[in-house]
Amino acid sequence: MTSPNAPSRPSARTTAVSRRSVPSTRSTAGLSATHRHGLTWDRALWLAVVLAAIGLLGWTQWIAPNLEPKRFGVVVPGEIYRSGEPTPGGLKSVVERYGIKTVIDLGAHEPGTPEELLAQRTAEALGVTRIRLDLEGDATGNPEDYATTLRMLQDPATHPVLVHCAAGSQRTGCAIAMYRQIEQGWTFDEAYTESFRFDHDPSDPNTYVRQMLEDWTWPVEVAVRTGDEVRSGQPK
């Protein structure tokens, strides 16, 4: 006979159900740890991508231009160089590395602007002669400015010389293509194609490098050879 105060014993069925209803601590802990590690690696990867992007942006925007001007290139080693607009640090770097004596600015900034004043003061501080011309960003403008550029590029007294515009693609590309043809005997296709390496896009309807070369290379050559002004319609 069972005592009325004795605890009742659970049935076998109740015990089995209770055991099945309790989740496995080991299994849950494993899943939780894996989940936590998965989130950690995702975040680490995301952080690495962000930091890499910031580093690349910083290098492109602030560090690289102060080591060397954008689209820098050697036209004639020891004599003629080309680039986009140099920062003060970038100009100092090429002056020290290549001994630049003369800078020909084809019109990177409007006269009287703070940027133009900074460029002039930087050249003066570095002891460099700076010549500013006034060509348009699409390579158009007074062809006499191209003739002036060619005369300086031919003059050993200006060497080593750096010629640049804002981007280093259109005006600079046109000037160097004229120099290649007039002074070095390159064909039109050879000289024009070189501009592609410095990001001139021939499909861009807002640039006129090819048109300027076709229309003005010969008149500029005549003016440079004779010392006369540039005149259109010069017979070949």
For the chain, the structural domain boundaries read 25-64, 70-226
* pLDDT attached to residue 58: 44
Q: 40 falls in which pLDDT band (50, 70, 90)?
A: confident
Structure tokens at 105: 């600015």
* pLDDT attached to residue 65: 52
Which of 57 and 98 is assigned the larger pLDDT?
98
CA distances from 78 to 83, 97, 101, 141, 175 (A): 15, 10, 11, 29, 18
Residue 218 CA to residue 150 CA, distance in Å, equals: 12
* pTM of the entire predicted model: 0.73
> Which phi-psi region, left, alpha or beta, contains residue 218 (left: φ > 0; alpha: ψ -120 to 50)?
alpha
* pLDDT attached to residue 15: 46
Question: Above 60 in pLDDT, residue 30?
Answer: no
Question: Above 60 in pLDDT, residue 175?
Answer: yes
* pLDDT attached to residue 233: 74
Which of 18 and 186 is assigned the larger pLDDT?
186
Which of 55 and 196 is assigned the larger pLDDT?
196
Q: Which CATH class is domain 70-226?
A: alpha beta
